[in-house]
Amino acid sequence: MNSIVTQRFIQCHHQLKQDNRVRSSRQFAIALEYLPQSLSEILKGRRDVTIDLLRRAVEVYQVNPLFLYTGEGDMFLRPKEEQEGSFLTVAQHAQNEDLILHVSIHHQYEYPREINTPEFISKLPVYSFPELRSNLGTQRSFEMIGDSMQPTFNEGDKVIANFVKPTVWTQNLKNNHVYVIVSDNAVVIKRILKGLQVDKQLLLVSDNSFYESYPLHLNDVKEIWQVHTRISSFLPAYQHHQFSVQEEIKSLKEMIGEQHQMIQRLQSMIEKLIKS
């Protein structure tokens, strides 16, 4: 039995023919630079659709990738929604359990450009986190760069986040929560304040007050991931810090004691001078 994504792809094919946007399955295949015989195998349920074929269907016929992968939204993109058509690639176990793809500091520089490239996604390391297999949906982890989110996050910390569908950005994004925002040229981890209903902008806020907040228009946003877990290799030296404070207090007490003894000796000397 073919996959649910293949079944939705077939629905889109049938709808294109019904709307007279394609005259035949052969024309559809040729437009997608695909062998008509291979397309016939897909339409008959004997073969699953490929990532490359899905990509070409999105590019040529504006098939909505959100519909293909989730069944939600319109079957085809409307012009104002084209920016919402991020082609989300996921990795799976053989048991069809989603894996978590990790975007390291090194890969973050390429990620905005290669976000829809299966070849790039396939290079990302993947791992499984059994406790996080609940109803969080597609998850991805990112590595923190810099100190803009201290003290909440330190450089090198890893955050695990779940994918926020573009269709719910205006309703489901939460003020003052931490998100991974992928724009045209950067991946950042910030708190957000919304101005979506008025000017379609997010205000990106750092926890480190040294950094100024700045706005980002939704047209420049490619993906949003809501952070729910932090993995940190940073272990604050609380015991060492506490020991240092105690040592300082001890030194101060000793200094005060020595000064008190010095004052007593001076006072005794003054009294002797007065008597003599």
Residue 94 has a pLDDT of: 40
CATH 1.10.260 correct for 4-84: yes
Model confidence at 135, in pLDDT bands (50, 70, 90)?
A: low
Q: Which CATH number fits domain 100-231: 2.115.10.20, 1.10.540.10, 2.120.10.30, 2.10.109.10?
A: 2.10.109.10
Model confidence at 194, in pLDDT bands (50, 70, 90)?
A: confident
Q: Nearest to residue 124, comparing CAs of 154, 90, 93, 94? A: 90
- Mean pLDDT of the region 209-214: 90
pLDDT in tens, 66-119: 788 778 778 887 654 444 444 555 544 444 445 788 998 889 989 998 887 777
Contact (CB, 8 A) for 167 and 122: no
User: For 35-39, 162-166, 186-190, 265-269, which range has the lowest pLDDT when averaged over its residues?
Assistant: 265-269
**pTM for the full predicted model:** 0.55
Q: Where are the domains of the chain?
A: 4-84, 100-231, 238-276
> CA-to-CA distance for 13 and 57, rounded, in angstroms?
9
Residue 161 has a pLDDT of: 92
